[in-house]
Amino acid sequence: MTGGLITDLYELTMAANYLRRGMNGPATFSLFVRDLPPDRGYLVACGLEDCLAFVEDYGFTEEDLDYLREEQHFDTATLRALEKLRFTGDVWAVPEGRVVFPGEPLLEVTAPIAEAQLVETVVLNHLTFQTSIATKAARCARAAGAARVIDFSFRRTQGIDSGLAVARASYIAGFAGTSNVEAARRHGLPAVGTMAHSFVEAFPDEQAAFEAFTADFPDRTTLLVDTYDTLDGVRAAIRTALRAGGPGLLSGIRLDSGDLGALAVQARHLLDQAGMSGTRIVASGGLDEFSIADLTAAAAPIDVYGVGTRMGVSADAPSLDSAYKLVAFEGRPVMKLSTGKATAPGAKQVYRRAERDVITLRDEPAPHGTHPLLLPVMRGGRRISPAEPLTRARERCEADINALPAPITRLRRPETATVRLSPRLEQTRDDLRADLLSRVRQARTREMIDDGA
């Protein structure tokens, strides 16, 4: 058991309150994204695997309890309850790689309220972050058309674990590989890489650097050509290959600065002239889906895009407006009335037919010809099935995005799908809102009388 303190303080404070009162009734929390950033028409669900691993193992160590006793002044009865606490709930979730829209639950937890509350922080964190990245990466992969896209982000992701998650999320979203060796090992991804400018600079000249590299790694000679002068670099790469054994020896060249489109055309011309039509052109340097789309539209002869920082932090939308909201407690639906933040109550399901989705209460029957997005993934605190191979999520992502209409996949100011609520869900929400408003008014009147006003 680990992770007890990997949460916000208020989760622990509230859990203490619930435990002390014996409030063990089942609570359902629903995790969803309220609104999309301006340049997003859809989301690619990602992060579930890390959520399940965390939740399944959640619990407190001796050191955790010592800290709560000594530094946070938790009382002995609460500490004893926390010592025994495990996550015993059920989880329904949208599988990784699926396309989802605003308002649709990505995950729903039903558990004794203290347990459901304690895992909130981590569950929100993984799903918000990894969904941001998978979505950004899917846009990059799609913008590249027939070209391949690879993850070069590790040096500027927001932390090391973040880099590992980005490599995985971008692979689900259609990337062909990653420069991140630890991520490649851990998730079985293709590891990719070329050379740095420093390598060229460490040799007396560019040609010497290329020759050394080609001698040592004849099966992976992608040479970085822009350290001094790009087209001179291309010529040096060509000469190196021809002298070392022939045109087949140069698998690729990499452009990392300047006008990538124009340089790619000139480099392609030089390579073709030298009989190296099989040599790939790799482009990198500040790329994202917008610049890739421009290069694709200009038919730039680029075979591989190395995409770094902007994908790895989802630069134009580094977070999402996600929420983890109590929607039912002890069998009754729940919602809040806070300005602009009201949530539809009750455990839910999403049914999809093509891209038209309807959100229903969990127990409503499936409308004809639809399939459910949320599947049971954990029961009684245990996973229902082991982690699936990443390729499964990757295939799902590709199929779901291919099914989207153009206005939704547009890069700039896309539309998003219109998600309906079922009549029963709407009715439940309206009834509860009316009830809450009337109770607020009654309480106000009662207190005014009490206060003698």
Q: Which is nearer to a second copy, 118 or 374 (CB)?
A: 118
Q: Which is nearer to a second copy, 274 or 404 (CB)?
A: 274
Q: Rounded to 5 degrees, what angle do the CA atoms 177, 179, 183 make? A: 80
Burial class (CB within 10 angstroms; exposed 0-12, middle 13-18, buried 19+) of 290: middle
121 binds a second copy (CB under 8 A): yes
Site for a second copy in 164-223 (CB under 8 A): 165, 179-182, 184-185, 191-202, 205-207, 212-213, 216-217, 219-220
From the list 389, 422, 439, 414, the residue with the least C-alpha distance to 168 is: 389
Q: Which is nearer to a second copy, 97 or 312 (CB)?
A: 312
Q: Which is nearer to a second copy, 1 or 337 (CB)?
A: 337
Site for a second copy in 127-146 (CB under 8 A): 128-129, 132-133
Smallest distance, a second copy to C-beta of residue 259, A: 8
Which residues are CB-contacts of 131 (< 8 A; sequence separation ≥ 6)?
33, 43, 44, 45, 46, 47, 106, 320, 322
| φ, ψ of residue 329 in degrees (nearest 5) | -145, 125
Q: Of 110, 135, 162, 279, which one interacts with a second copy (CB under 8 A)?
A: 162
Smallest distance, a second copy to C-beta of residue 84, A: 19
Spatial separation of the C-alpha atoms in residues 379 and 391, rounded to whole Å: 25
Site for a second copy in 226-265 (CB under 8 A): 226-229, 232, 235-236, 239, 256-258
Structure tokens at 21: 């009162």
Structure tokens at 339: 């300005």
Q: Of 85, 122, 137, 237, which one interacts with a second copy (CB under 8 A)?
A: 122
Work out the number of other CB atoms within 10 angstroms of the CB of residue 169: 31
Spatial separation of the C-alpha atoms in residues 300 and 284, rounded to whole Å: 13
Name the segment binding a second copy (CB under 8 A); options: 95-103, 290-298, 325-333, 367-375: 325-333
154 binds a second copy (CB under 8 A): yes
61 binds a second copy (CB under 8 A): no
Q: Which is nearer to a second copy, 90 or 400 (CB)?
A: 90
Please report, for residues 20, 110, 381, the alpha-carbon distance to residue 362 in angstroms, rounded to integers and kept in the order given.
Answer: 31, 12, 20
Site for a second copy in 290-319 (CB under 8 A): 309-310, 312-315, 318-319
Spatial separation of the C-alpha atoms in residues 3 and 315, rounded to whole Å: 29
Spatial separation of the C-alpha atoms in residues 80 and 390, rounded to whole Å: 40
Smallest distance, a second copy to C-beta of residue 356, A: 30
Alpha-carbon torsion (308, 286, 396, 99), positive or negative: positive
85 binds a second copy (CB under 8 A): no
Name the segment binding a second copy (CB under 8 A); options: 2-10, 79-87, 293-301, 349-357: 2-10
80 binds a second copy (CB under 8 A): no
Name the segment binding a second copy (CB under 8 A); options: 94-102, 160-168, 348-356, 376-384: 160-168
